[in-house]
């Protein structure tokens, strides 16, 4: 079962790491491996959410998502998107960005370094919004109970997460960004650039969240209409013709999944910039991670249950929060890849171990091992 489900992911991992070592030596191998582990860790929630929705779809639409969806996730978000970010922020075309990365690495590195403040501000604010909206939500399961209960109460204030994020952006623009690091060791004032890019990151998050909410609402309306149609048909003694409405509902499920998948992919790509600016290392590492999202989703759907590690979602979001802060700090100071990558993995590992201990305590108390809920 494991080999059948994860076989392609294992194969892509071996090929990707071997390619990284062959082309760039141990440094490339290490960074690609860190990116792969980080993306896999952050993508666990993605797989859980995908599985919870995917199991409600027909076999046909499951296959559509697991084929077309993975192509969009791997080749669209993980391969094309990093190039697009560099092209836009550095002011060059995508083909030119790839050519510079291949033929003129020194020039490319200089352009990316000088464009880093805008990349870091945009990505840092996007990731910060994901983290804040998680910790400010009411939830039944708490990992760090006292802190999370207080934050959940603060989250009852309308727009509180946006307010905190914008306050953080103003603080960053007025302090860290006034001495932004540039190529050659120079420091220049990038306050206006950081402020504009950060606002764009917040707006992008709100747009993605709005689209997800739209599809979720549409889905709920269709499911209610389907249930009403089935009930009406049963009352008059005939079988309801659900093929058409099921297809429409599945189509909106597919759209909703794509928006969710894109948002998870987006934070992975943005978070990768906290570790490296090398687009080929990024593409390899994130591509490996994307394959594991597919495999984990398939595994969870085929098993018919979700893993019972209740704090993994918390750990992933705390890792996102840590990455957001490190991205903003990196506008002025360079942070070692071992710190940026290792902290996220460490938080995931801590959440996993906490989940194992909690499950053992439940069993010892005579309870049963809990199942994971997507909402935490």
Buried b (16+ CB within 10 A) or exposed e, 53-86: bbeebeeebbebbbeebbebbbeebbbebbbebb
Mean pLDDT, to the nearest integer, of 178-203? 83
pLDDT classification of 266: cutoffs 50, 70, 90 = low
261, burial (CB in 10 Å: exposed 0-12, middle 13-18, buried 19+): buried
pLDDT at 341 over 80: no
| Spatial separation of the C-alpha atoms in residues 257 and 52, rounded to whole Å | 11
Contact 219, 253 (CB under 8 A): yes
Distances, alpha carbon 355 to alpha carbons 151, 299, 349, 361, 376, in Å: 21, 20, 10, 10, 12
Distances from the Cα of 369 to the Cα of 100, 353, 363, 373, angstroms: 53, 15, 6, 13
* 370 vs 274 pLDDT, higher one: 274
Q: How remote is the C-alpha of 361 from its chain's centroid? A: 31
Per DSSP, 161 falls in state H
The pLDDT assigned to 208 comes to: 75
| pLDDT greater than 80 at residue 201 | yes
Q: What is the pLDDT of residue 240?
A: 56
Determine the average pLDDT of the residues in 53-61: 72
What is the rounded distance in angstroms from the CA atom of residue 63 to the CA atom of residue 77? 20
Q: How far apart are CA 101 and CA 298, in angstroms?
A: 35
Cα–Cα distance for residue pair 154/134, rounded to 1 Å: 12
> To the nearest whole percent, how much of the chain has pLDDT over 70?
74
pLDDT of residue 295: 80
User: Using 50, 70 and 90 to split pLDDT, how confident is the model at 297?
Assistant: confident
Write out pLDDT tens, residues 224-262: 776 777 677 777 766 655 444 355 666 766 777 776 676
């Amino acid at each position: 079962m494991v080999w059948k489900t994860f076989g392609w992911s294992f194969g892509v991992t071996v090929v990707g790491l071997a390619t990284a070592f062959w082309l760039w030596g141990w440094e490339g191998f290490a960074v690609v491996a860190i990116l792969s582990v980080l993306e896999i860790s952050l993508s666990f929630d993605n797989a859980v959410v995908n599985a919870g929705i995917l199991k409600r779809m027909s076999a046909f639409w499951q296959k559509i998502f697991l084929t077309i969806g993975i192509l969009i996730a791997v080749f669209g978000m993980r391969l094309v998107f990093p190039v697009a970010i560099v092209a836009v922020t550095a002011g060059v075309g995508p083909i030119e960005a790839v050519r510079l990365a291949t033929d003129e690495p020194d020039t490319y590195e200089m352009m990316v370094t000088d464009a880093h403040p805008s990349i870091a501000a945009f990505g840092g604010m996007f990731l910060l919004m994901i983290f804040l909206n998680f910790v400010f939500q009411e939830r039944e399961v708490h990992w760090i109970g006292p802190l999370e209960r207080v934050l959940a109460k603060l989250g009852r204030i309308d727009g509180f997460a946006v307010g905190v994020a914008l306050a953080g952006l103003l603080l960053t623009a007025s302090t860290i960004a006034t001495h932004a690091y540039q190529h050659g060791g120079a420091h220049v004032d990038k306050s206006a650039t950081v402020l504009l890019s950060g606002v764009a990151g917040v707006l992008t998050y709100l747009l993605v969240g709005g689209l997800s909410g739209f599809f979720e609402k549409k889905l709920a309306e269709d499911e209610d209409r389907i249930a009403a149609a089935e009930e009406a048909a049963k009352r008059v003694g005939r079988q309801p013709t659900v093929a058409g409405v099921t297809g429409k509902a599945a189509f909106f499920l597919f759209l909703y999944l794509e928006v969710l998948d894109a948002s998870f992919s987006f934070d992975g790509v943005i978070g990768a910039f906290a570790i490296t600016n090398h687009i080929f290392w990024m593409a390899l590492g994130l591509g490996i991670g994307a394959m594991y999202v597919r495999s984990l989703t398939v595994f969870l759907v085929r098993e018919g249950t979700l893993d019972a590690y209740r704090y993994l979602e918390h750990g992933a979001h705390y890792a996102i929060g840590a990455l957001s802060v490190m991205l903003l700090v990196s506008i002025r100071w360079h942070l070692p890849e071992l710190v940026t990558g290792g902290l996220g993995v460490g938080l995931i590992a801590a959440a996993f171990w906490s989940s194992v201990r909690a499950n053992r305590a439940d069993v010892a108390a005579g309870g049963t091992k809990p199942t994971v809920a997507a909402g935490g």
